[in-house]
Amino acid sequence: MQLRYRYRLYPTSGQTSALAQAFGCARVVYNDALTAREQARAEGVRVTDAQLSKALTEAKRTPERVWLNTVSAVVLQQALADLATAYRNFFASVTGKRKGAKIHPPRYRSRRDNRQSIRFTANARWSITGGGKLRLPKIGDVNVAWSRELPSEPSSVTVIKDVSGRYYASFVVEVEAVPLPECDTEVGIDLGLDTFAVLSNGKTVSNPRFLRHAERRLKKAQRALSRKQKGSSNRAKARVRVAKAHAKVRDTRADWAHKHSTAIIGENQAVYVEDLCVKGLARTRLAKSVHDAGWGLFTRLLQEKANRYGRYFGKVDRFFPSSQLCSVCGAVDGKKPLHVRAWTCGCGAVHDRDVNAANNILAAGRAERLNACGVQVRPGSGRAQRVEAGTHPERRKALVGIPDL
Contacts of 360 (CB under 8 A, 6+ apart): 188, 320, 321, 322, 323, 325, 327, 399
Query: Environment class of residue 176 by beta-carbon count within 10 Å: exposed (0-12), middle (13-18) or buried (19+)?
Result: exposed
Is 255 assigned a catalytic role?
no
Average pLDDT, the chain: 88
Please confirm, yes or no, whether 354 is among the known catalytic residues.
yes
Instruction: Note whether 351 and 326 are within 8 A (CB).
Output: yes
Q: Higher model confidence: residue 377 or residue 125?
A: 125
Strand partners, 128: 134
Separation between Cα atoms, residue 367 and residue 359, nearest integer Å? 12
Percent of the chain at pLDDT > 70 equals 91
The whole-model pTM stands at: 0.83
Least confident segment among 127-131, 169-173, 253-257, 278-282: 278-282
Q: Is 239 helix (H, G, I), strand (E, B) or coil?
A: helix
pLDDT at 146: 95
Residue 346: predicted pLDDT: 78
Residue 101 to residue 220: CA distance in whole angstroms? 36
Give CB contacts under 8 A, 24+ apart, made by 201-210: 202/355, 204/354, 205/260, 207/293, 208/253, 208/256, 209/292, 210/249, 210/252, 210/253, 210/256, 210/292
What is the C-alpha to C-alpha distance for residues 200 and 189, in angstroms, rounded to an integer?
6
Q: Distance of alpha carbon 131 from its chain centroid, rounded?
A: 33
Instruction: Please give the pLDDT value at position 371.
Output: 60
User: Which of 354, 368, 388, 404 does the annotation list as catalytic?
Assistant: 354
Q: Is 141 a catalytic residue?
A: no
Q: What sign has the CA pseudo-torsion 367, 372, 378, 381?
A: negative
Q: Would you say 147 and 102 are in contact if contact means Cβ atoms under 8 Å apart? A: no
Q: Give dist(CA 379, CA 372) in Å, integer.
A: 13
Nearest to 75, CA basis, from 18, 20, 34, 119: 119
Catalytic residue among 274, 304, 333, 352: 274
When pLDDT is averaged across residues 222-242 and rounded to a whole number, the result is 94
Angle at 398 between CA 315 and CA 184, to 5 degrees: 70
pLDDT of residue 403: 34
Rounded mean pLDDT, 35-53: 92
